[in-house]
Structures are given as structure tokens and as C-alpha cells.
Structure 1
Amino acid sequence: MHKTGMIVLGHGSRRKEVALQFTAMVGRVASRIAEAQVLPAFFSLGEPTLADQVRELVVRGCTRIVVMQYFLYNGVHIEQDIPQMIAALREEFPGVEFVIQPTLQDDPALERLLVDRLLADGGE
């Protein structure tokens, strides 16, 4: 049986308040997932990094790490940069299974949220 850890990976920002808001949101999500540890990480422009949090979860005994890419669209970070980071982490931790979840692009739940928001403030 694998002990699972989860990382919500955001882009990051130079603005400290953005990092604090992202970290708080991940904390709220974590409070709803009892079966795994959930940590925030930043692709760039912030700490902790993806590698920092993977190392933390490994120290905590996790052998399976789920990475949720908290990005709206599949740009160069998703298609090139993050896969390179994950490849390096797989080499560093060959005994750890990495599960990479897709971005929010084309997610029906996000589309439902947009419809709900639009209708709440102007729908007939």
C-alpha cells in the first residue's frame, strides 16, 4: 500500500499576497482530504518549489505523489517545463510513483462555474 501525498502546483507571483491566497486555498482543500497530505508548491516566482514539496512528502514517508497542475491552459510550462521537472524528480526518487493530473483546461466543472457566475449577475 502506498502512502499518498498531493501537491497543488501553481505558477507563483512576485506579489506576496498572491502566494498567501494560494497557500490558504490549498489549506482549505487539504482540510477536505483526510486520506492524504496536501501541500502547495510554486512553479516559479515563489517558495516552496515543486522539488521542495516532493522532498518534504518523501521525508514524511510518501511513495506516491499526485501533482495537480493548477493552471487554466496548457502552455509551455505544462507541455515542457513541468514535465522536465518531474523527469528530474523521478530520477532523484526512483521509488516514488508520480501521478500528474491535467490542468483545468476544458474542465466541465470550471465551465459550469463560469455559467453559474454569469447567470448570477445578469442572466434572465
Structure 2
Amino acid sequence: MMMLLLVAHGSRRDESNAEVKALANQLLSAESGFADIDCAFLEIAQPSIPDGLRQLIAKGALEIVVMPYFLSAGRHVSSDIPAEIEQVRVEHPEINIRMAPYLGASAEIAQIVMQQASSVLQEI
């Protein structure tokens, strides 16, 4: 079974973390092809990335795609998230855990930015 773990930074603001959880739920209901979709956080909020991966493994995941919900390839995307994933790879070498490109690497990101920026024009 292939599952998806959406990974965000994490915030002290519960509402911000709830937005990420809501997105994971929305993705799950979108017939994505993943058996399950959940979220985890790099810092501050729970579950941590290793705990999120372990939870999916406990649900029967044989393959997990980790999707960094980040806009740029800073240290978190290039080093921190891969290090967190590696902890669980060592514990569960039988599970295929792969990291997808971060959100900001998407070819559609420029269009999305322009849609959001242009939305205020409709308010005027």
C-alpha cells in the first residue's frame, strides 16, 4: 500500500497546523491513488516526521511518499527533512520511503501565485 505524508514546518499557532491537517484530509478525499494521506511537522507541532512515518507504517504502508509542503529548497528541505526520513528508513528498511519535490518546485507555482495575487483585483 502506498501512502502520502504531507510535511509542513509546524507553528505555535494551532490554526496554522490545523490548516495543514485539513489539506491532508482534503487530499485524501480527492481520489489521489494513495491508500492514506496524513501530515507531520518538522518542528513545534505534532506528530513529528518520524512519528508520522511510523503511524503510516502501523497502518500497513509498504511505500510512503513524503511531500515537503515548503516553497523553497532551504536547509529544511535539503537537509533536515531527509535526515528525519533516514531515521525511519534505518528502523524499517523494508519500507520504501521516497521524498517528492517540494511544493515550490512545481511548474504550476507561478500560476498559483498570480491567481492569489490577482484575487485582490476582483475585490476592488
TM-score (structure 1 length as normaliser):
0.88
Aligned equivalents of 2:3 and 2:13: distance in 1? 27
Aligned-residue offset at 1:41: 0.6
- Cα distance in 2 for residues equivalent to 1:95 and 1:112: 39
The separation in 2 between residues aligned to 1:89 and 1:35, in whole angstroms, is: 20
How far apart are the structure 2 equivalents of 1:14 and 1:63?
A: 32
Partner of 1:15: 13
Name stretches of at least 5 consecutive residues in structure 1 with no aligned partner: none
5 Å matches for 1:16-31? 16-31=14-29
- Secondary structure at the aligned position of 1:14 is classed as coil
Report the residue type matching 1:91 in the other structure: V
Long gaps (5+) in structure 2: none
CA distance 1:55–1:14, change in 2 (3 Å): same
**Contact 2:28 2:34 survives alignment (8 Å):** no
Q: Deviations over 1:7-49 (max 9, x none)?
A: 0000000111111121112111111125420001111110011
**Is the counterpart of residue 44 in structure 1 residue 43 in structure 2?**
yes
2:4 matches 1:6: yes
Q: CA deviation at 1:105?
A: 2.3
**Which has the higher mean CA deviation after the structures are superposed, 96-105 or 111-120?**
111-120
Instruction: State the TM-score, normalizing by the size of structure 2.
Output: 0.88
Partner residue of 2:94? 95
Alpha-carbon distance in structure 1 between the residues aligned to 2:53 and 2:117: 38
How many residues are aligned here? 121
What is aligned with 1:82? 81
Q: CA deviation at 1:84?
A: 1.1
Q: What do the CA deviations read for 1:63-105 (whole angstroms, capped 9, x no partner)?
A: 1000000000111111111111111111011000011011122
For 2:103, the equivalent position in structure 1 comes to 104
What percentage of residue pairs aligned between the two structures are identical? 28
Counterpart residue identity of residue 97, structure 1: N
Deviates more, 1:64-73 or 1:12-21: 12-21
